[in-house]
Amino acid sequence: MTSVWNEKIFSDGWRAGSGDPIAVVAPGSGTRLGAVGAATPDDLDRAVASATAAQREWAAAPYAARAGVMLKAAQLLEQDPERLAGVLVPEAGSGQGKAAFEVGLVTSELQEAAAVASHPYGEMLRSVKKRTSIARRVPLGVVGVISPFNFPAILSMRSVAPALALGNAVILKPDPRTSVSGGLALAQLLEEAGLPEGVLHVLPGGGELGGALVAHPGVPCISFTGSTAAGRKIGEAAAPLLKRVHLELGGNNAQLVLPDADVRAAATVGAWGSFLHQGQICMTTGRHLVPRALADEYAAALAEKAAGIPVGDPAEGAPLGPIIDEHQLDRVAGVVDRAIESGATLAAGGGHDGLYYRPTVLTDVATDNPAWTEEIFGPVAPIHVYDDVDEAIDIINASEYGLSVSILTSNPYAAYELCDRIESGAVHINDATVDDEAVVPFGGVKASGVGGRFGGPQASIDTFTETQWITMQSRIQQYPF
């Protein structure tokens, strides 16, 4: 796996970082794949200075030049998807199908970013004076991006690509567990596509570096994707500095099975929503709400699905791979143990072999059970039985999170009418909670996010530019003194 990034950071080219190299380890096998360079706050200072200088020229370039880099990167990835998928599988523990899907998302994000570069960026305003009045969007300058381990490539690129396309420079700090697939592999791709030196810096590192990035006076915007707990700390640190902060945070997403739903079809959606990528997705289905009349049939169907999914090394073709590390494994196992102690019944799974945790189904889950109230970030499907739809909606909205909700029914229009009552950034009728597209303004409400949206031209422009008001008149204005 050794490549140009081995023991390197990406900052004005490939060079050694000032910190001790970070080992790249495959969670599935424990194999050491290599090492990446580690950046320090001193490296960050140099990167910010470089990015600030490079950003001016990058922003002044014709939009077609910025769009061209994005399109070239997309083309390179389409021609050789294995350059990214081949890293996602071992480093992030991604199943091969999930890795291929993620590569497709990254490609789409690059293509959409190219379109954003040519999108109208201002408007003519009316004025009480005889003058031209314009509101235009201008780049923020240097955007700091902090990305997580679970979908590392797309959750980095969906900030990096539109920020670059709109004329910003970017400093990316990927999760240290996925520094290659979440950062250095993307830098290599964009470098080959012609991105000028200094416009993008990828600095692997841990919490100290992330804190320095948030606090740096030369970085006016932070785009963070990760846990709600970490997001709160970033918000607290950035608030006194009056920084623009975009927080895309956790979720405890509900799947509402309505009484008229096809049970076996609903179980298929539920299995995908809860078990894809070992449940390590912010949009993972963490709560299954099922009407009493369908509860036994649904639980049996979902347990059958769980029991039939192969779990193993994704490099050998298993669709479900490992939990990212021992710490997260302990958390998943601990929540399941506490759930059973609190009265839940284990219908499937519940065990693990090393980091490989079996898809797990829990029934008899009360609304105060830890498996119901907490974001587990593992392949666990808790089921709660409801008696009427009003009760179910109240249960959905009782969560502090509001990212994604799934409604499964034979009457989609009736489900659409329920959306007014559901507190969620996304509602998918007859589809899973796990769903995202580059053209969609994606984000959550409540504890699931604040400060902007990913995707779509208007959301990208709102998130990664600032408004500047300009007026112009033919003669110098005359005043009485």
By the 8 A CB rule, do 427 and 407 touch?
yes
Which of 102, 191, 248, 375 is catalytic? The answer is 248
How far is residue 261's CA from residue 148's CA, in Å, rounded to a whole number?
35
The residues near 27 (Cβ < 8 Å, ≥ 6 apart) are 93, 177, 321, 322, 323, 324, 325, 355
Q: Which of these, 344, 331, 210, 339, lies nearest to 280 by C-alpha position?
A: 331
How does DSSP classify residue 473? -
Query: Within 13 A of 93's CA, how many CA atoms are on the CB side?
Result: 27
Exposure letters 325-338 (e unless 16+ CB within 10 A, then b): eeebbeebbebbee
How close are the terminal C-alpha atoms of the chain, in Å?
A: 73
* 208 carries an active-site annotation: no
248 is an active site residue? yes
Residue 93 and residue 263: Cα distance in Å, rounded?
31
Q: Which of 208, 282, 375, 437 is catalytic?
A: 282
C-alpha 411: how far from chain center: 31
- Known catalytic residues are 248, 282
